[in-house]
Structure 1
């Protein structure tokens, strides 16, 4: 029995949706400019990034390339938010777009190359499925991990994601 790549990606996204939503619901409002360290990104930007990253899958499927740091206006920059409802709306829209793109694609298309650029310079030119796995799903896990640390430092409850947390037990 073989499983289509797109189905594996769909299952992964759906499996991660509830935990990501729970995490985003706990991001405290009114702290968007807070940073744990001068080299860290601001909480508001990080939360928006986590909420909007699923949309990257749609970009990887529907476009042949993306320049994430273009010279001039950056249309792919995560949206700013003020309320938890705003943040969850960004997440819902992002999930909707990614699930639709995955549903409508084929494994043959996922085998074709996709380019990521920064300020016009080529960062990667690899098959779409590699970019989805490495450049979005694994990268998303990294930023969600960062966000759990921010939650802890702001005294917000950290959700149990892949096992119990100090704030949430499975039993």
Structure 2
């Protein structure tokens, strides 16, 4: 299987999991966080919703500098004011990633991509490795989100296996 097909299939699997988790996000809790050093709940939920869009950005660009106000600002997650807005954000970013993957090539995925802050590359390498890391990073933040859900008394859906709230046959 080629990388484009692999990533398209992975996007479908991961987006299905994102939807299950994001559907459990209660409204009115955006500023809640389990610890003073933790990120706010609304930011974390928006981050999970937005992360598939990073794939499209990685395909369309050679890198991202978060301190560059012309491009970095639009990749900072912002809490959604309603569940409907959160779900729209998730769907919009999923569709961007799907479209970008459908329009790219193996050769392009082998090209270099870099993540920078203040002009310093924090992570760089072949685009396909950076995209693979994005899926892992997204699963990590989705896992954090399930912990927040549990602490808030919301249901935790099954993702890679059963949860206390959702058994898998």
TM-score range, shorter chain: over 0.9
Aligned with 2:163 (options 131, 156, 165):
165
State the alpha-carbon separation in 2 of the partners of residues 124 and 26 from structure 1. 32
- Classify the secondary structure of the residue corresponding to 1:40: coil
Structure 2 residue aligned with 1:142: 140
State the alpha-carbon separation in 1 of the partners of residues 45 and 66 from structure 2. 18
TM-score in terms of structure 2 length: 0.95
Displacement of 1:166 in angstroms is 0.1
Alpha carbons of structure 1 residues 71 and 85: separation in structure 2 relative to 1, 3 Å: closer
State the alpha-carbon separation in 2 of the partners of residues 152 and 141 from structure 1. 17
Gaps of 5+ in 2: none
TM superposition outliers: structure 1 runs of 4+ over 3 Å: 69-73
C-alpha RMSD over aligned residues: 1.3
- Classify the secondary structure of the residue corresponding to 1:74: helix
**1:69-109, Cα deviation, whole Å (9 max, x unpaired):** 43687222123311110000000000000000001000110
Displacement of 1:4 in angstroms is 1.2
State the alpha-carbon separation in 2 of the partners of residues 4 and 103 from structure 1. 13
State the alpha-carbon separation in 2 of the partners of residues 69 and 146 from structure 1. 25
Alignment of 1:95-106 (within 5 A): 95-106=94-105
State the alpha-carbon separation in 1 of the partners of residues 35 and 6 from structure 2. 37
Alignment of 1:72-91 (within 5 A): 74-91=73-90
Contact kept, 8 Å, 1:79 with 1:90, in 2: the verdict is no
TM-score in terms of structure 1 length: 0.94
Structure 2 residue aligned with 1:7: 5
Count of matched residue pairs: 168
State the alpha-carbon separation in 2 of the partners of residues 75 and 90 from structure 1. 13
Structure 2 residue aligned with 1:153: 151
Alignment of 1:14-53 (within 5 A): 14-53=12-51
**Once structures 1 and 2 are overlaid, which stretch shifts more, 142-151 or 117-126?**
117-126
State the alpha-carbon separation in 2 of the partners of residues 84 and 146 from structure 1. 18
